[in-house]
A and B are shown apart, each in its own frame.
Chain A
Amino acid sequence: MSVRTSSPAALRRAPADDVRAGDDVSSPAPRRAGDAAASTPRPVRRDWRKIVEIAVLVGPALVVFLGFVIFPVVMAGYYGFFRWKGYGPPTDFIGLQNYATIFQDPTFHEALWHNLVIVVMSLVLQGPLALLLALLLNRPMRGQSAIRVLIFVPYVIAEVVVGTGWSLMLQTDGALNGLLEKIGLGALAQDWLSNPDLAIWTLLGIITWKYVGFAVILFLAGLQGIPQELTEAAQIDGASYWQIQRRITLPLLGPTLRIWAFLSIIGSLQLFDLVYIIWGQYISSTAGTSTMATYMVANGRNAGNYGYGNAVAVVLFLISLVVALVYQRFVLRRDTAGALTERSER
């Protein structure tokens, strides 16, 4: 629900509807006492008290949130119009020049292209793999919960640990090439990290390894929401296992798949940690693994051009926002209908 509720589509609805939208239909929960309180007139003193309570309870969260999330994002829009080294107030107003530079910089084009490859290939690689694993783990068998936990472990480990470990393993004289040689496949040994034709595939492999567990867990939850009666009925009608998965499971898993894809796309657009840790700020562009975020850090903060860095942040944000809105509009919208079927069968 969280994802759907937070969707810009949801945000565009009348504000009063939003909290209500957060309610699951499966919980015909009685409305709060507050509703009743609001409808019965109360002495003014009591209202004041309520306002103070609300202010005291929400105030701290709101201040921290506005101060460290919303304010910086707004300021990025402002700083992006300046040539600014980050010291003192920005004074050298240059209009849209930072943005012009960004869109003319071939290094940025490359980074953008890598991001697109990562977005698409993450979906293509992780989706089917996670689906297969989830189907496999959804069959009743012993040791199921242990396997589920173990698959999830890479997702919990810090990006730095993953990056350090993999970059040591993938060096030309590292463990992977050593292993290939040992089992007689020495011909397959590669320069996994710095060969520009290969590096992005190495990155995709590591990304798949780290994040596929998350997809599996989501899909498993979705699968367990599908009532057994449906598959049993299909079985009685003589449907094969794969027919059942194709015709019943997959369509009913639709909403879960679409939400996962949304999270994956946004995550891929923001990818920074793994690339920066494994390839560092300089090598990532020659190895062909730079992303918009590593470009932002390398050309903004590391180069001391904070105005420029903020402009890149704005571009990155707008690209993510447009993608998110388009996705909400054309893909997740179907879940208004999908959600109904999902609920009626629960």
Chain B
Amino acid sequence: MTASTIAIPRARRPRNGALPWGSPAIYFGALVVVALMLAPILYIIVGGFRTNAQITADPSGMPSPWVGKNYADVLGSTTFWGEVANSTVAAVVTTIGVVALGLMASYVLARYQFPARGLLYAVFAAGLMFPMTVAITPLYIVVRNLGLMNSLTGIILPQIAFALPTTIIILVPFLRAIPDEIEEAAAIDGCSRLAFFWRMVVPLALPGVITVGILAFIASWNSYILPLFILNDEAAFTLPLGVQAFASQYSVDTAKVLAFTSLSMIPALIFFSIFERRIVGGLTGAVKG
């Protein structure tokens, strides 16, 4: 698999320029599907602009008038911002950790020749067979024995560990695709292999690194089962736990729950829309090659 396979699948354009308009039936079909996919999300976002009285009177109606109070309340609460901070720290540190450790390990697996290389790759690849759900009970015990309960470190380290297999599988082909000539030229110029790693490999592997980083960030941002086991103290809650706690605490205040829920998904949505091509491209590249 070369780096070129991890490219964004592009629409096939006819050779003579702009895309044609398809038939109306196809557009209608596509519109229906998109509407079905977006309706629940819009329900959450728009529902946050209604009052509970409005929701009770007509559960499926539009806001009339639009009320900003729910969103203002959530944005004014320290609980929400504390959870945003926890989620951000966990996601950022996880991403950095995954990229750093993954890149270093992938570099060795891609460009060093040594007897145990195949075995090492197989060990990491085997990690794909152990989703976090399976390992969660013993993982909880390991984290507890390390004294990391209720700390973000307690979720960051396992998240890094469980993201490594995918990361390595995506990055190794990228690093391998770097032409040997570059490395040889660098060596002739007196560049050690480690210096080559910092000066050439890291910049050249950037597209793969970004893909891997985004996947790790979103996975951490959305992670549920691990924080559920590790974080019992409300002060350490990440957003998914916060949403759930909020939903049960304010179960009668539907409008505010909707506002809280929609605010919590904004960062992942923004991240996704900025890097959409990379995520989609990375996933397809990873499976296709």
Contact = CB atoms under 8 A, between A and B. Distances in A.
User: Which among A144, A161, A277 has the highest number of chain B CB atoms within 10 Å?
Assistant: A161
Interface in B273-289: 273, 276, 279-280, 283-289
Contacts of B10: 224
B64 interface: no
Contacts of B9: 220-221, 224
A92 interface: no
Contacts of B121: 18-19, 22
A167 B261 CA distance: 12
Interface stretch (A96-104, A105-113, A133-141, A329-337): A133-141
B261 to A, nearest CB: 5
Contacts of A301: 137, 140, 229
A22 B134 contact: no
B110 A32 contact: yes
B261 A68 contact: no
Nearest to B227: A160
Given A65-B124, A168-B257, A168-B258, A3 B287 contact: yes
Nearest to B158: A68
Contact of A15 (B119, B141, B265): B119
A26 B289 CA distance: 9
A139 B12 CA distance: 8
B76 interface: no
A15 B118 contact: yes
Most chain B CB neighbours (cut-off 10 Å) among A165, A166, A259, A273: A165
Nearest to B241: A160
A143 B19 CA distance: 9
Contacts of B229: 301
Interface string A165-206: 110110001111111001000000000000000000000000
B34 A220 contact: no
Interface stretch (A117-125, A242-250, A282-290, A308-316): A308-316
Interface of chain B: mostly helix, strand, loop or mixed: helix
B91 to A, nearest CB: 12
A221 B104 contact: no
B210 interface: no
A209 interface: yes
B238 to A, nearest CB: 10
A56 B198 CA distance: 14
B122 A18 contact: yes
B125 A75 contact: no
B19 A142 contact: yes
B206 interface: no
A324 B134 CA distance: 14
Contacts of B70: none
Interface in A3-51: 3, 5-6, 8, 10-11, 14-20, 22-24, 26-27, 29-35, 37-38, 50-51
A319 B126 CA distance: 16
Contact of B176 (A17, A29, A151): A29
A69 B135 contact: yes
Given A156-B268, A324-B129, A1 B258 contact: no
B134 A217 contact: no
A154 B35 CA distance: 12
A24 B135 contact: no
Given A8-B129, A65-B164, A140 B12 contact: yes
Contacts of A320: 129, 131, 134
Contacts of B197: 57
Q: Find the residue from B177, B272, B289 having the highest chain A CB count within 10 A.
A: B289
Contact of A54 (B19, B110, B112): B112
B85 interface: no
A324 B12 CA distance: 35
A166 B58 CA distance: 17
Nearest to B111: A32
Given A34-B111, A182-B60, A270-B133, 4 more contacts: A35-B113, A69-B161, A69-B164, A320-B131
Interface of A: 1-3, 5-6, 8, 10-11, 14-20, 22-24, 26-27, 29-35, 37-38, 50-51, 53-54, 56-58, 60-62, 64-65, 67-73, 75-76, 79, 86, 133, 136-145, 147-154, 156-162, 164-166, 168-169, 173-179, 182, 209, 213-214, 217-218, 220-222, 224-225, 228, 256, 259, 266, 270, 272-273, 276-277, 293, 296-297, 300-301, 306, 309-310, 312-313, 316-317, 320-321, 324
Interface of B: 1-2, 4-5, 9-14, 19-22, 26-27, 29-30, 33-34, 36-38, 40-41, 43-44, 47, 56, 58-61, 97, 101-102, 104-105, 107-114, 116-131, 133-142, 157-158, 160-162, 164-166, 168-170, 172-173, 176-177, 179-180, 183-184, 187, 193-194, 197, 218, 221-222, 224-225, 229, 239-241, 243-244, 247, 254, 257-258, 261-262, 264-265, 268-269, 272-273, 276, 279-280, 283-289
20 contacts: A1-B289, A15-B116, A24-B1, A34-B111, A38-B113, A61-B168, A65-B124, A65-B165, A72-B135, A140-B13, A141-B22, A142-B20, A144-B19, A156-B269, A158-B221, A160-B239, A161-B243, A164-B261, A217-B283, A317-B130
